[in-house]
Structure 1
């Protein structure tokens, strides 16, 4: 399962970085005479209402859909590490305030938090990335705090302090690598959740606008003709599902390996 998931993610990476290598047709090219054609040798995933090639749109939409997930996860990891490390090292009163705010945010589903943020900031790809990032931060804050507090009292860290290493160098050298290692494993799983949240917001019409190729937007575009042209929504939905499952499988296997 691990290597199958890795192979799928490698294919997703190729589609995101080099879409023209997999899809030769223009994803924005319309042809009303070829509208709603079923999958065939000429159009592997069929065509949509405007005659655009669905396969090309799925491939070219990979970079935008996956990119939002990667960007949001990366920023959430950094912000979560900083806040969690501060919470795990500062005075208890500040720690309590930061953790209570984190608890409140974690009490709501990530998608609901992202939806509320978009409602405040307004629709758009940039605001979706911000919303997904803010929704994911609390999980990283919690883990970073726990790992920081645990590693601070580890024997090798105490030994470094006894030998005269100052607190900041001791943290950077002995605590931070362990915290980032745990966060990176969590981030592997979080990428899938971020991709799913971004696609969900785009499906609701809060992300990119037509004719931008984006998986969630393509799902929304095919829902009104699902009975007549099922392929318009099916293939973007499969792309989301397969990518999220592959990222989750890799993350869980890495987490199990780290725990053992």
Structure 2
């Protein structure tokens, strides 16, 4: 059962990747083309996911929305990983005063829910897809910093790092060759799980009107657009909601599987 779940998760994420990079393979309609005469049509052969208030094909908008929704999540996660690696590793090798200062700032940020931090940041920066990615990145960075620092301290005390130092390998060279790869491996596992959280946070901000604006197809924005006609046209919100849910679940399943494998290897 666990293997089947992993394969299903991987298959769905592969489908999302195809939708993001080659949407025309999955969607036949223009996601921005309106047809008032075809507004609010239920799912049918011509429109498998139905149409929205403007007569736009919901399937095409969900497919084309994968590039924006998943793209924002991937961008935010990649930035959070890189910043967390740099700051966390620096904190792990820095003098005690610098380390304490960085950790106190990290603790303050971690004291607030990630979505609240992202909401405050995007409210200051203004709406837009790029600003949402920045906000989600800032909200997620503290976790990566904390893990990178912990892994740096752990890797520095390992036998092979000590052996390399005894053999005359320079401090920075030993750090780059032995410490950074181990820290990056742990952060990569966290990032796999974090992609789902980032997509969910970005969709939540878009739902509140702080992300991409109409008529751009984006999953959170589509959810928001269908809430007022949910009783009349449930498909407008249900299908992008399913896309968000399944993407988050799939990324989490793969991330947890990688973490179990890493823990097993470490053991």
TM-score, normalising length from structure 2? 0.97
Instruction: Report how far residue 124 of structure 1 moved.
Output: 1.1
State how far apart, in whole Å, the 1-side matches of 2:64 and 2:213 are. 15
Equivalent residue, structure 1, for 2:34: 30
Tell me which stretches of 4 or more aligned residues in structure 1 moved more than 2 Å. Answer: none
Q: Once the two structures are superposed, what CA deviation does each residue of 1:132-164 show, in whole Å capped at 9, x if it has no partner?
A: 000010010000000000110110000000000
Match of 1:59 in 2: 63
Aligned match for 1:231, one of 216, 235, 249: 235
Asked if 1:182 corresponds to 2:186, the answer is: yes
Q: Structure 1 residue 167 and structure 2 residue 178: aligned?
A: no
Matches within 5 A, 1:96-245: 96-245=100-249
Which structure 2 residue ranges, 5 or more long, are not aligned?
none
- Find 2:260's aligned residue among 242, 252, 256: 256
Give distance in 2, aligned partners of 1:9 and 1:208: 23
Instruction: Work out the CA distance in 2 between the residues paired with 1:38 and 1:198.
Output: 28
Q: Are residues 1:93 and 2:97 paired?
A: yes
How many matched pairs?
Answer: 260
Describe the SS at the equivalent of 1:234.
helix
Equivalent residue in structure 2 for 1:68, among 52, 68, 72: 72
Shift of 1:126: 1.0
Distance 1:14 1:259 in 2: 31
* d(CA) in 1 for partners of 2:8, 2:233: 30
1:44-86 deviation digits (Å, cap 9, x = unpaired)? 0000000000000000000000000000000100000000000
CA distance in 2 between counterparts of 1:114 and 1:256 reads 29
Any unmatched runs of 5+ in structure 1? Answer: none
1:79 match: 83
Q: What is the deviation of 1:120?
A: 1.1
**2-structure distance, mates of 1:213, 1:231:** 15
2-side partners of 1:140 and 1:215: how far apart?
Answer: 26
Offset, 1:30: 0.5
Q: Secondary structure at the match of 1:245?
A: helix
Counterpart position of 1:41 = 45
TM-score (norm. length: structure 1): 0.99
RMSD: 0.5
